[in-house]
Structure 1
Amino acid sequence: MEFQKISSPSLRELFVEQLEHMILSGKLGIGEKLPPERQLSEAMQVSRAVVNSGIAELEKKGFLIVKPRVGTFVADYRRTGTLDTLLSIMKYNGGKLRNDEIRSILEVRIALDTLAAQQCIKRITDEEVQLLLEKTERIRDASSIAGASQAAFEFQHEFAVLSQNVLIPLIFQSFKVPVFTLWERFCTLYGIPALYQNTYKLWSFIHDRDIDGAVHWIQHSVGETINGSRKIYYE
């Protein structure tokens, strides 16, 4: 049996986490001005270096706005946030996404998968079709939900790479954590065979070089998780 190394979070990580929680819980409201760094340092009993680096990270994530010679303010992270902001929200919610976030990710996935299908299918080779089939079968053969979700990610990422659009696989890779979470949610609710069947159906259209069929299936199958019979919301 292999044991993992135990590590404790740094003071900066704890500082960032506490302020994120205060912002996400509403204890710190949008537009509210934070105390000066010296006061934060004294109140939280950490060095000013910890406060300074923590504020810089929170600004990068879109939670804070630093105005030189004016102060530091809570930002509207819905407008200024990044993917890191979404990951922080997931962590705050115990690894879960809210319904509007799930819907948004799925809508983006429809757009990206549709573009990938249009670009990939018209130029894919027989060898590449076989490669996608092998990745599809790994979903079927997975012994766990995590394994099936990883196999599904590998299929989708390869599909994106084969589109030869430089940005699609990069965007897909950047969304791995929330997308992976949604696949796990889908498998928990509907089973690994359902994920395999969805992927195999898409592969069949790719195999037949049927762009219209693939696009329709993407819109239908992902749409079912948004408004259909296979919703994956937590509430």
Structure 2
Amino acid sequence: MTFSKIQKSTISQIIVEQIQEKLLKGELEAGQKLPPERQLAEMLGVSRSSLREAMRALQYMGILEIRQDGAHLCENLSLLSDHFKLAYLLKQFSVMELIEARKLVEAEIVRLAAERATAEDRETITEAFEETLRHQEAGEERDFLMADFAFHRAIAEAAQNSVLVEMLNAIRDLLLEVNLDVIKRPNQVQVATAFHEKIMKAILSGNAREASDAMLDHLTNVEEAIAEVYKAELSEDIRV
């Protein structure tokens, strides 16, 4: 197994992109175990802290899982996600196109979740929400983002439609770096948590219309935050 050296001036996203590219080319396979942290950092030519940041991102994206014997690529990698990732590498999607798609997908997901969620689904959604609260209170932005994803995924699972789950996973994977930037805005975590609570309560009460409206309000807020953070890039119509 070989990896290309990475210059120290680059960021952890380059590590993520190299892993993704090797998966797309078949140089890495689902379920494969990665080298130990120290060895992999040396192979990549990066610090262990940069590698850890990349590993957290890969976990968030559902590409990597940490087991007792080390880091493994997930067994059930999404073919739909891989298709979206390939298009992303070819620079075919803009940030705002992805946000627009996410709004359409999640508005339907949450509506179905309110109608179809089982008692177990509702418990999972509640637990996921409580996890986001813990990370908010601790001021752990990156861990909050992973918990945020778990919350949205729990809702998607409750919709009982596996295609919508995969679509959500694919879109959110591509927005990872954007979300990492947006979550650093003052009070953004608190605002997101408030929207999450409204969404959760609507699902638990079985109110599909209220749940859909709350999700759209939440994602509109995210859209506005992204527009503010990436104002210069968006004004120049740079594609990501």
Q: Is the TM value for this pair above 0.5?
A: yes
Partner in structure 2 of residue 138 of structure 1: 131
- Contact preservation (8 Å) 2:95, 2:175: no
The answer to whether residue 236 in structure 2 is matched with residue 200 in structure 1 is no
Q: Highest relative contact order (Cα 8 Å, sep 6+), 1 or 2? A: 2
Q: Is the alpha carbon distance of 1:88 and 1:140 closer, same or farther for their aligned partners in structure 2, counting shifts above 3 Å? A: farther
| Matched ranges for 1:1-235 at <5 A | 3=38, 5=40, 6-8=42-44, 82-87=84-89, 89=91, 101-142=94-135, 143=138, 144-189=140-185, 190-226=187-223, 228=224, 231-235=227-231
Task: State TM-score, norm by structure 1.
Answer: 0.57
Distance 1:196 1:114 in 2: 17
The alignment of Structure 1 onto Structure 2 pairs a total of residues equal to: 153
Distance 2:196 2:157 in 1: 16
Superimposed CA distance per residue, residues 97-129 of structure 1 (whole angstroms, 9 cap, x where no aligned partner) = xxx822111111111111112222112123321
Q: Is the alpha carbon distance of 1:167 and 1:194 closer, same or farther for their aligned partners in structure 2, counting shifts above 3 Å? A: same
Q: Aligned residues: percent identity?
A: 13
Q: Which amino acid aligns with 2:177?
A: T
- Contact preservation (8 Å) 1:225, 1:232: no
- Contact preservation (8 Å) 1:160, 1:169: yes
Q: Is the alpha carbon distance of 1:134 and 1:107 closer, same or farther for their aligned partners in structure 2, counting shifts above 3 Å? A: same
Distance 2:188 2:229 in 1: 16
Hey, which bits of structure 1, 4+ residues long, moved more than 3 A?
Answer: 87-90, 228-233
Unaligned runs of 5+ in 2: 1-36, 46-82, 232-240
Q: Which amino acid aligns with 2:171?
A: F
C-alpha displacement of 1:4: 6.0
Q: Is the alpha carbon distance of 1:183 and 1:198 closer, same or farther for their aligned partners in structure 2, counting shifts above 3 Å? A: farther
Distance 1:157 1:135 in 2: 9
Q: Is the alpha carbon distance of 1:199 and 1:181 closer, same or farther for their aligned partners in structure 2, counting shifts above 3 Å? A: farther
Superimposed CA distance per residue, residues 17-58 of structure 1 (whole angstroms, 9 cap, x where no aligned partner) = xxxxxxxxxxxxxxxxxxxxxxxxxxxxxxxxxxxxxxxxxx
Task: State TM-score, norm by structure 2.
Answer: 0.56
Unaligned runs of 5+ in 1: 10-80, 91-99
C-alpha displacement of 1:212: 0.7
Superimposed CA distance per residue, residues 147-185 of structure 1 (whole angstroms, 9 cap, x where no aligned partner) = 111111111112112111120111222234323333323
Q: Which amino acid aligns with 2:194?
A: Q
Distance 1:232 1:133 in 2: 31
Greater Rg over alpha carbons, structure = 1
Distance 2:160 2:114 in 1: 11
Q: Is the alpha carbon distance of 1:156 and 1:4 closer, same or farther for their aligned partners in structure 2, counting shifts above 3 Å? A: farther
